[in-house]
């Protein structure tokens, strides 16, 4: 999926800025920025920049839980702890009616 997106910069109009953090022997950070398809003249929607790292973090976490039988298709129920939050116990837009990381990735990408 990522290769498909990266191979079509005109269709997907992505901009990626990656910052590598290296630390010296005193733990002082050194930042190195890498830019891909960044153009100040093109419109940039900042909310989209959260999606890719969040998706990658979710997939990395799921990968670490594979020994417990959890994968991207596992049902993911979300509770709420405050009245302004919403619980999610079902997803009528998914094939099986249940929320999962796999479906969220498809739904919000």
| Dist. CA 72–CA 59, nearest whole Å | 7
pLDDT at 41: 85
| pLDDT over 80 (residue 46) | no
| pLDDT over 80 (residue 109) | no
Domain coordinates of the chain in residue numbers?
1-42, 45-109
DSSP 30-61: EEEEEEES--TTS---TTHHHHHHHHHHHHHH
pLDDT at 68: 96
């Amino acid at each position: 999926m990522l290769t498909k997106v990266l191979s079509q910069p005109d269709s997907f109009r992505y901009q990626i800025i990656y910052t590598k953090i290296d630390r010296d022997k005193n733990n002082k950070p050194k930042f190195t920025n890498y830019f891909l398809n960044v153009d100040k003249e093109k419109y940039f929607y900042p909310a989209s920049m959260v999606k890719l790292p969040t998706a990658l973090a979710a997939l990395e976490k799921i990968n670490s839980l594979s020994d417990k039988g959890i994968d991207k298709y596992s049902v993911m129920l979300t509770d709420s702890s405050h009245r302004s939050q919403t619980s999610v116990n079902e997803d009528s837009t998914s094939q099986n009616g249940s929320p999962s990381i796999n479906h969220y990735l498809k739904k919000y990408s």
